[in-house]
Structure 1
């Protein structure tokens, strides 16, 4: 796929490749750092239609530690969705699938939540009975582990390092 990892600034100046990913021969990321303001600030939320809203709330709140922000209530007074706070200005939105609603094919791969300490997060989730992959460095130089929610949605937990390719964008 890619042969090494080096920032765009080094590619454009002919500099030597970064040490990022040097332990992963055969991989390279193309990075570009653009100065200046964007009209976009962040990913505000991700949204899932789930088969069992209560089971999903249990997972995201009691196992992942998100905070229940508010409910979506229909005219009959029934909860049909929730907004869960991740951190800062980030949220996960969940809506109950309608009875008999066919499952839609997924066009997305996963979503990712940043953690401070990947090993501590892994241990905490395992202590709660969550099936978590072993921590490993991704080709971007960041730590990652993987879990699934009750509907099988893939979630990456991500810990930046001093060698993360995303470094120029982190503030």
Structure 2
């Protein structure tokens, strides 16, 4: 009986997530961030409500840019502030990573590290203007 009740509870709680909406980054200047993502990385501008909010996309990825004053940037009840930066990051798939690294360096993009090579491919971390990390990843055709 308990197993049947547990399955009933599981069926009510599982499946409430309908899918991935996007990734939210905290930024200090939404206009500057929109320019970086659209002009430097080739994202599309979906919407902007300056100075608080912008949304850019590429492929199936929506990147929500929350500036000061946006509902997605408000202080937590325990007093913590939502800030840019950290180590969790969006991973963008690219081809010919070394060529893109050279081009981004010429544009003055900030790099967190040098290109790393592993069994699945090669990657490097860059930062948007507010210090939010972005990983550029090139698969070498490994199967996982």
- Given the two structures, how large is their TM-score scaled by the length of structure 1? 0.58
Distance 1:94 1:69 in 2: 11
Q: Distance in 1 between matches of 2:123 and 2:35?
A: 23
- The C-alpha deviation readout for 1:42-62, integer Å capped at 9, x for no partner, is 744211121111121122122
The whole-number CA distance in structure 1 between the counterparts of 2:19 and 2:123 is: 21
CA contact (8 A) 1:44 1:89 kept: no
Question: Among 97, 110, 114, which residue is 1:118 paired with?
Answer: 97
Q: Which runs of 5+ in 2 are unaligned?
A: 1-15
**Length, aligned pairs only:** 121
Matches within 5 A, 1:15-94: 43-71=20-48, 73=49, 80-86=52-58, 88-94=59-65
The TM-score, its normalising length taken from structure 2, stands at 0.67
Runs of 4+ in 1 over 3 A off after TM superposition: 39-44, 99-103, 105-108
The CA RMSD over aligned residues, in Å, is 3.2
Partner of 1:20: none
Gaps of 5+ in 1: 1-38
